Amino acid sequence: MRVATESGKPDDRQAIYEAFRGSVVIVPIRHEHEVRAVRGNDGRPMVLAFTDLQALAAWASGPVSWASIRGPDLAWFAIEHGARAVVLNPGGPFGGELDFRELDALADSDALQLKGIDPSSGAVRMEVRDSSTFQLRPPSYVPGALVTALREALAKRDDVDRAFLLEAARAGRPHLTLGLALAPGADPSEVVRAAGRAAEAHLAANEPLDVLPLNEGLASSLAEKVEPLW
């Protein structure tokens, strides 16, 4: 955190990502284990997190209850609760913000557990952290222009091992999801931005395209039933 705060270099910020994925951070809590947050200028919550107890003490005006949580689990928590960012060490001496795009890339794909594959439909059944389930399946309809645009964008990159265009069915209307298995050392945020730029012109108004990080086991399971986009 100190090095990245002082230098501002992209490589040092990447080091924060790697450390965050493998770290346990401290979050202040209220009664009944409610994670404390603050409101950003846009009214959306910003989750507070600290790298050690000294950083927590520098922020708190007095005694405060706290809990520890894995970095990727906190990223998932923030995303699921509509947070705009996670603010690291807001009281200093070294800190910063991880915005919602970065959190999406940092959320651990191990939070998704493969439950099985429906042999009749080819749907991959998943379990998420809240123990609800959803399905990933071949999309019922995909505009050809969207497929072409994504393939052309991914063909220019060497940081994507495999990609799948899928349909996610959970609560509500099914929506398109781009599953990405990335090469070691790839910057997920860069890949997501490139895919988003390619897809934007070929999606209907207000139509989402989710991006799902895939570990090797999940990517291999999908490849048995779904033709990779790339």
DSSP one-letter string for 124-139: EEEE-TTS-EEEEE--
Under CATH, which number does the domain 2-106 receive? 3.40.1350.90
CA angle 31, 33, 34 (to 5 degrees): 80
7 closest CA partner among 70, 76, 94: 94
* H helix intervals, 2-47: 2-7, 10-21
**Cis peptide preceding 10, ω within 30 of 0:** no
Distance CA(213)–CA(108), nearest Å, equals 8
Query: What is the enclosing helix (H) or strand (E) of 104?
Result: helix 100-106
150 closest CA partner among 99, 195, 115, 217: 195
Distance CA(196)–CA(203), nearest Å, equals 10
Residue intervals of the chain classified under CATH 3.30.70 are: 109-223
107 closest CA partner among 11, 26, 210, 228: 210
pLDDT, residue 172, reads: 53
pLDDT, residue 109, reads: 47
pLDDT, residue 119, reads: 56
Residue intervals of the chain classified under CATH 3.40.1350.90 are: 2-106
Query: Average pLDDT by consecutive 10-residue portion of the chain (230 residues)?
Result: 70 74 84 73 82 89 84 82 85 81 65 55 55 70 86 89 82 74 80 83 75 77 81
Please list, residue by residue across 195-221, b when 16 or more beta carbons sit within 10 angstroms of its beta carbon and e when fewer do.
Answer: beebbeebeeeeeebebbbbeeebbeb
Please list, residue by residue across 24-47, b when 16 or more beta carbons sit within 10 angstroms of its beta carbon and e when fewer do.
Answer: ebbbbeeeeeebebeeeeeeebbb
CATH classification for the domain delimited by 109-223, as one of 3.30.70, 1.20.1280, 3.40.1350, 3.40.50: 3.30.70
Contact 66, 26 (CB under 8 A): yes
